[in-house]
């Protein structure tokens, strides 16, 4: 009997982390090579590539594109080549001759079955609209039809025929002799990232944590001067010195004073973490939000923080973050002011963390300063700072103590 190797979803993330099988990169009957890309798994944050655990022939497929899978799930099996080395097989997968029940024994997947090469987003579009895939030239890998290919096809169809799914629906004449108007709309199916974000945010706000937000304001004059003086020095090392680097540094100082903020709530205890792994909310334009994690921020100076921030931000915007880059966060910082927001509340807590820090837009405002016992009006670069807490774990005392220390660090920054 031929020897088989199981293809398993890796245990790279916490047990139970949800994935969606996006694509099989090989079809049953095709040859595969040890460690070559075999399966794409999509999470709400990154695309995870599963390599082939052995060389041989892709024999069985148990999960199809669009199926939900978790670490440890059996995806399929590879029939070993006769020349495969036992040692490499033992390192990469489990050899077994036990027969498993296929998903569909009556209709096995064929190498020419193009439906198996469609992503979940494409499959949903095909289901929603009567699209003939044979009329679409795929722009993806190996000629696969992508979501954008479908949308482009529908747009072209809408421009040429009123029967297109995207064409304007018949309008209804409004009352009171309002001029006749027609309007069009387009449904863009949610991708996996958007669906996961929606679920996670709803669960955090409505079902898990009672949210409370405290608002302070900070004078950014000191860090503005420091940044202006030191930015050229950082640039000589190929680094961008951003305000976010200062905020991360100040957050570490505040967490060291109030370690309860850096925690996770359990029914019987509050788990306080020694490492300060700070997630940085990073917008991906219209694609959503991702939170890469700056690990062990308490061990980094301003230069080290700036360097790691740049690396994570570049990877996030290039879509090349690895699972390890988004794991293990204990506290999150949202610098929403970069897009113009003065105050955002509540910023929803990234469960299972206990708090999230929000930084508003830097704005020059007139404030009152006491100088030599006299009140003086001065123009200063100010920003609103918020801390949203899980009120099960934290109270106003810890919240305001954290913010007080954070503002002290920012406003007392030395040259």
Are residues 59 and 28 in contact, defined by beta-carbon separation less than 8 angstroms?
A: yes
Q: Is residue 395 annotated as part of the catalytic site, yes or no?
A: yes
Token pair listed for 386? 């918020």
DSSP letter at 206 equals I
**Residue 77 backbone phi and psi in degrees, to 5:** -140, 150
Q: Is residue 391 annotated as part of the catalytic site, yes or no?
A: yes
How far is the C-alpha of 382 from the C-alpha of 369, rounded, in Å? 13
Which neighbouring-strand residues pair with 374? 371
Beta strands 95-96; 4-8: pairing state: antiparallel
Q: Which of 86, 155, 275, 395 is catalytic?
A: 395
Burial class for 21, CB neighbours closer than 10 Å (0-12, 13-18, 19+) = buried
How far from the centroid of its chain's Cα atoms is residue 9's Cα?
A: 19
Length of the chain equals 415
Token pair listed for 71? 């670490």
How far is the C-alpha of 343 from the C-alpha of 327, rounded, in Å? 27
Q: Which of 190, 200, 230, 391 is catalytic?
A: 391
How far is the C-alpha of 133 from the C-alpha of 145, rounded, in Å? 8
Catalytic residues: 391, 395
């Amino acid at each position: 009997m031929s020897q088989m190797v199981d293809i398993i979803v890796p245990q790279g993330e916490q047990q139970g982390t949800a994935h969606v099988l996006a694509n099989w990169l090989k079809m049953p009957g095709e040859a595969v090579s040890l460690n070559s890309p075999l399966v794409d798994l999509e999470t709400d944050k990154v695309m995870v590539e599963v390599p082939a655990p052995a060389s041989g022939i892709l024999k069985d497929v148990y999960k199809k594109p669009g199926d939900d899978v978790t670490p440890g799930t059996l995806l399929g099996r590879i029939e070993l080549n006769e020349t495969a080395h036992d040692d490499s097989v033992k390192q990469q997968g489990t050899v077994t001759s036990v027969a498993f029940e296929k998903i569909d024994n009556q209709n096995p997947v064929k190498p020419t079955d193009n439906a198996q090469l469609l992503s979940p987003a494409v499959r949903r579009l095909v289901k929603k609209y009567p699209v003939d895939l044979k009329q679409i030239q795929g722009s993806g890998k190996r000629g696969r039809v992508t979501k954008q290919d479908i949308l482009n096809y529908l747009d072209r169809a809408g421009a040429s025929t009123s029967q297109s799914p995207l064409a304007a629906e018949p309008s209804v004449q409004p009352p009171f002799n309002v001029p006749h108007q027609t309007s069009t709309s387009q449904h863009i199916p949610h991708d996996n990232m958007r669906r996961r974000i929606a679920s996670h945010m709803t669960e955090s706000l409505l079902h898990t944590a009672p949210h409370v937000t405290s608002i302070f304001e900070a004078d950014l004059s000191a860090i503005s001067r420091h940044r202006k003086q030191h930015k050229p020095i950082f640039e000589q090392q190929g680094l961008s010195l951003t305000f976010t680097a200062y905020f991360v540094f100040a957050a570490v100082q505040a967490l060291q004073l109030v370690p309860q903020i850096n925690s996770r709530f359990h029914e019987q205890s509050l788990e306080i973490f020694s490492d300060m792994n700070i997630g940085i909310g990073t917008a991906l334009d219209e694609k959503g939000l991702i939170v890469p994690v700056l690990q062990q921020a308490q061990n980094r100076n301003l230069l080290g923080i700036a360097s790691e921030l740049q690396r994570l931000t570049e990877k996030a915007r290039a879509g090349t973050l690895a699972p390890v880059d988004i794991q293990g966060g204990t506290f999150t910082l949202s610098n929403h002011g970069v897009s113009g927001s003065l105050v955002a509340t509540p910023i929803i807590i990234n469960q299972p963390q206990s708090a999230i820090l929000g930084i508003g837009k830097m704005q020059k405002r007139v404030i009152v300063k006491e100088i030599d016992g006299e009140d003086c009006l001065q123009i200063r670069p100010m920003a609103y700072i918020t801390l949203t807490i899980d009120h099960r774990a934290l109270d106003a005392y810890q919240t305001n103590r954290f913010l007080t220390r954070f503002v002290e660090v920012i406003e007392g920054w030395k040259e």
